[in-house]
A = this chain, B = another copy of it.
Amino acid sequence: MDDRSSTLTQPQNQDEDDEFGLPARLVGQALEAVEARDAVQLDELLDPLHPADIADLLEQIGPGQRRSLLALWRGGMDGDILSELDESLREEVIEGLAPGELAEAVRDLETDDVVDLVEDLDPAAQEAVLGALAAADRVAVEKALTYPEYSAGRLMQSEVVRAPHHWTVGEAIDFLRSGTLLPDQFYHVVLIDPRLKPVGYVTLGRILSARQETRLRDLTEESFRTFHVEDEQGDVAQAFNKYHLISAPVVDDDDRLVGVITIDDAMNVLDEEHEEDILRLAGVGDGALSDSVRETIRGRLPWLVVNLGTAGLAAFVISRFEGTIQALVALATLMPIVASMGGNAGTQSLTVAVRALATRDLTRSNAWRVIRREAAVGLLNGVVLATVLGGLTVLFFGSWALGAVIATALVVNLIAAALAGVFVPLLMERIGVDPALASGTFVTTVTDVVGFFSFLGLATLVLM
């Protein structure tokens, strides 16, 4: 730990934008110092910053500027900054460090931070970091890496403060004061039985305020729950949020205590899951703002290609009706409206469903209720909008038949949109694909095809 942020309390009157975080002008000032090769000035600018803000700064500048800055900066990279850095930049930065610097940087990290740091590195960089650790830490990190990616085992720290469940408050206090090496931050003492199974936990507040002879097991919190090493991080994070957990023990197959997950790590996972959901829904892969142009294209182009395919499908549907359009070119003007309204309504249903699946609010027990509701909403929204659109069509094009056709097609498409918006993500979830990832494309394919087909098909039947 360093004392970078010991200046405390953020400045009261920062620039216009943020109340907290990296001051905008600092980025420019740091780049000027780099430009002028003024190492003293750069140190003065960066030293007071929180590691998370230094990471932000590194993410906000270009790759060339980053290299120059790191070469000039004598304050040097430390493990906390590496932990905060976006994954896409870590490898780049780690490769630029001398082995000694790297060892220095990671030595003070908790094991869960080291795991987070190394799990996505290539084998050579990973070995470099592991080699820099103390033997005990290395064992803990290597053990954690044997658990599946995105599992509780990867998220937990192996440093746990634990006590036999028969201890008294006095015994616990003696133990805590005995000079045993304790984690930087801990909020509970986990009680274990003789077979190392966690059976409850006690907050430090209760230990501090209870009488010496009270048994720890009489002070346990009702919020106690354990996770298994292979539980998914997303489930763990949702459980922390739902049940207001602060920390929770992690057990192995034999129900033995092997680590503890704390809420700050769970909050981080929740944030990342959200990021993933929102970006995937938009077809952006795992894009980050610090990605290069090439990485950004790699993330987005595949989804645009998929969309090209589905748009081609919609175009094919239209092409079947070229004769009808030729006869009544107003159809070409109106048809994108039907498709666009369906796409929007489908995205609405889809987003609610994907979000509800992510928060575990949409389950098998209420799926039918939700589907019925969506269908009803689709029908009623469809009727309202169809009335408006049909009326406007009659007004502008002077044809009652055309108005009736577009109104009917719109109702049909809004019902299709509502159903596709719920069914598609439920189906994805069932077959084990992230609903956020692929659903959007399917839903808009449905609404495009149904929209064009119902409008042009009805027009052919009624108007030709």
Contact = CB atoms under 8 A, between A and B. Distances in A.
Interface of A: 1-6, 8-10, 17-22, 24-28, 50, 52, 56, 59-62, 161, 173, 176-177, 179, 182-183, 185-187, 199-200, 203-205, 207-209, 222-226, 228, 231-232, 235, 238-246, 263-264, 266-268, 270-271, 274-275, 277-279, 281-284, 287, 289, 292-293, 296-297, 300-301, 303-305, 307-308, 311-312, 314-315, 318-319, 322, 325-326, 329-337, 339-341, 344-345, 347-348, 350-352, 355-356, 359-366, 369-370, 373, 376-377, 380-381, 384-385, 388-389, 392, 444, 448, 452
A129 to B, nearest CB: 21
Contacts of A389: 308
B351 A278 contact: yes
B352 A279 contact: yes
Contacts of A289: 352, 356, 361-362, 366, 370
A231 B19 CA distance: 8
CB-based closest 6 A-B pairs: A282-B351, A204-B204, A332-B332, A27-B365, A274-B274, A60-B366
A19 to B, nearest CB: 5
Given A8-B200, A20-B360, 10 more contacts: A20-B238, A182-B205, A274-B274, A278-B278, A278-B281, A305-B385, A311-B340, A325-B325, A325-B332, A331-B332
A278 B277 contact: yes
Main secondary structure of the interface of A (DSSP, over half): helix
A348 B346 CA distance: 17
A455 B339 CA distance: 18
A363 B24 contact: yes
Contacts of A60: 361, 363, 365-366, 369
A270 to B, nearest CB: 6
9 contacts: A20-B225, A52-B243, A185-B246, A187-B246, A282-B350, A304-B345, A311-B340, A318-B336, A322-B333
A235 B204 contact: no
A192 B232 CA distance: 41
A237 to B, nearest CB: 9
A373 B294 CA distance: 10
Contacts of A161: 205
A235 B17 CA distance: 11
A281 to B, nearest CB: 7
Contact of A332 (B271, B322, B345, B366): B322
A27 B27 CA distance: 54
Residue among A6, A59, A392 with most chain B CB within 10 A: A6
Number of copies of this protein chain within its complex? 2
A367 to B, nearest CB: 10
Nearest to A337: B311
A24 B365 contact: yes
B240 A267 contact: yes
A117 to B, nearest CB: 15
A20 B239 contact: yes
A234 to B, nearest CB: 10
A215 to B, nearest CB: 16
Contact of A270 (B6, B270, B277, B385): B270
Residue among A61, A267, A369 with most chain B CB within 10 A: A267
Nearest to A60: B366
Contacts of A296: 373, 377
A304 B381 contact: yes
Contacts of A5: 222-223, 225, 243
Contact of A293 (B20, B240, B376): B376
A387 B216 CA distance: 71
B242 A21 contact: yes
Given A21-B242, A340-B311, A351 B300 contact: no
Contacts of A204: 187, 204-205, 208
